[in-house]
Structure 1
Amino acid sequence: MNVKIITDSACDLPQNIIEQYNIDVLPIVVFMNDKEYKDSVDIQPKELMTYMREGGMTKTAQVTYENIDKMLRQYVSDGIPCIYIAFSSELSGTYQTAKLVEQDIKDEFPDYDLTVIDSKSASLGFGLMVYLIAELAEKGASKDELIEKINYYKQHIEHIFTVENLEYLYRGGRVSKTAAVVGSVLNIKPILHVDDGKLIPIERARGRKKSLSRMIDIIGERSDSSISDQVIGISHGDDLKAALWVKEKIEATYGAKEFIIRDVGCAIGAHSGPGTLAIFFIGKA
């Protein structure tokens, strides 16, 4: 590989892809009962979902300056060009911290080829970007080609998702208390997407089944004929049954054949909660 790809655990990539493409992943910190865990290192998604279902409170913390610095500096002495693709700056401070590290390393080693990029993405939308870029890097794409492709994906990877319980989004400041209470009473399920790195509600549906069906319709509205040849990402908050149902509907409706299905990672799941269901794909050019 000509370029080293580095990212953080908010990308929610499966371990087999991380290992296959030798991607370095910096873990975001998750707190439960004020005890600190490293996402997907010290704690796994199912453990977190169980804790949240039992009423446990969670919060997260960005990757530290020290950990980012340690990760990036190991490639400086060998002169290996690096791209660090970071969790959306609208949802975490990790990108801003990584930019500080980048500047400090470049001040010390002006000729070192290091680029930190804001993915403007989250969960498997972010992961899909990292996966596709790592695949291109392994095939020998130049750094300029990789950066150009990242910028394309930032504009075109769609994140369509819903949550089972609005309370978790309320705790994270994503919806108002009134919306959370009314949604719970009326069984309203929001459908959201990511726009320029921010979570944006786009529709509401009455009930889980209707929200999932509407999400599948939205794929057709936001994609073109290439959807059948794409890798589709599906992430879920400990609800594999729903994820597999969505996969079958996408296969039947759009002819897609390749999927990445994974639990929502702890860094994302700590804010979205159990029952989250998200679909990721490349939208219209």
Structure 2
Amino acid sequence: MEKIAILVDSGSDIDIKKSEEFGIYMMPFYVNLDGKFYKEQFELSPDDFYKWMEKNEKLPKTSIPSPGELKEKFDQIVNDGYEKLIIITISKNFTGFYNLCKQMDYNKLDIRVIDSKSVALTTGLLAIYGKKLIDDCLDIDEIVEKIEKKKQESKIFFTLDTFKYIIAGGRVPRAFGKVGELLNIKPIILCDPNDGKYHIVKTCRGEKKVIKEMEKLANEYLGKLDKYYMIISNAGYKRGQEILEEKLESFKEKSSLFLTSKIAPSLGVNTGPGLFGFGFLPLD
């Protein structure tokens, strides 16, 4: 049996607890608050981060780990007895971590790097799926092939409280954001697995209509599936997540694995507090 490990970045929303539970390694990103860098998950929790954003109303800076830190993580994985490593990163459109991993020269491990073309826990779901394939004793080539195929089927839909942060991060046109703020328009955004970018798939007037549209999306996609992993997430807006969980209760019960998450600070800098949404990964 091949000794294969899986590594994700902290933008995958695999927190410390989930990392331990599923046996997945995690590499934290950094967030700069008031001139000091913090390792998210380890030194900065999502709750503390979103409280800081609400108080300061500005866009923090983020950064990826250094090559030296990544090498240290690789050394740890080798010392833990692994010979091969699959790295699954959030979309390379939002981070330089994918390119860093591809450029690393490290000959103690057979390393494969996968761009999930997604964000948050849908990337984490791919890692959990990959870990299951390892436990099923598939070889690394088969696992990578299956993950590459599955990532095209995963989706995450979310809404925002304000366009301010996503506009500042260059994610949507500024003119559209101004209209959205004036008319109380709430977007439903998809991270499209075809290009790994954000796309606005629907606009609604007010939160109630957003919830109804998300119910429709769940019926459209999950209603056709027999087996899937499912997530519901929030960024500093637990009530939105709770309402969505209520509305999607039947899909939660049907899922093979249901998880909740808090959006990592490294992603939250471009969405702001007030986000909530759901995602899924179809299974065979």
Query: Structure 2 length as normaliser, TM-score?
Result: 0.90
Q: 1:138 to 1:171 in 2, by over 3 A?
A: same
Greater mean alpha carbon deviation, residues 26-35 or residues 134-143? 134-143
CA contact (8 A) 1:222 1:284 kept: no
* Inter-CA distance 48–85: structure 2 relative to 1 (3 Å threshold): same
| Paired residue type of 2:83 | I
Secondary structure of the residue aligned to 1:47 is helix
In structure 2, relative to structure 1, the CA distance for the partners of 1:139 and 1:242 (3 Å cut) is: same
In structure 1, distance between residues paired with 2:5 and 2:251: 37
CA contact (8 A) 1:90 1:197 kept: yes
Unaligned runs of 5+ in 1: none
Q: Give the structure 2 partner of residue 248 of structure 1.
A: 246
| Partner in structure 1 of residue 92 of structure 2 | 89
Amino acid in structure 1 at the alignment position of 2:205? R
What is the Cα deviation at residue 156 of structure 1?
A: 0.5
1:215 aligns with 2:217: no
Give the match for residue 17 of structure 1. 18
1:35 aligns with 2:36: yes
Alignment size in residue pairs: 278
Q: Provide the rounded CA distance (Å) in 2 between the counterparts of 1:165 and 1:237.
A: 12
Residues of 1 paired with 2:133 and 2:282: CA distance? 19
Provide the residue aligned with 1:120 in structure 2. 117
1:165 matched to 2:166: no
Deviation per CA, 1:111-150: give whole Å up to 9, x if none.
Answer: x422111111110111111122123323433212221221
Q: CA RMSD in A?
A: 2.2
**From 80, 87, 98, the counterpart of 2:83:** 80
1-side partners of 2:143 and 2:13: how far apart?
Answer: 20
User: Which amino acid is the alignment partner of residue 248 of structure 1?
Assistant: E
Identity of matched residues, %:
28
Residues 255-274 of structure 1 mapped to structure 2, 5 A cutoff: 256-257=254-255, 258-274=257-273
Gaps (5+ residues) in structure 2?
A: none
Superposed counterparts of 1:46-195, under 5 Å: 46-54=47-55, 55-76=57-78, 78=81, 80-101=83-104, 104-106=105-107, 112-195=109-192
The structural deviation recorded for 1:187 is 0.6
Distance 1:250 1:8 in 2: 28
Distance 1:128 1:25, change over 3 A: same
What does the per-residue CA deviation read over 1:64-85, in whole Å, with 9 as the maximum and x for residues that have no partner?
Answer: 2222222123445756211111
Which amino acid is the alignment partner of residue 70 of structure 1? E
Structure-2 change in CA distance of 1:174 and 1:139 (3 Å) = same
Normalized against structure 1, the TM-score is what?
0.89
Match of 1:184, as an amino acid?
E
The Cα of 1:254 is off from its aligned counterpart by: 7.6
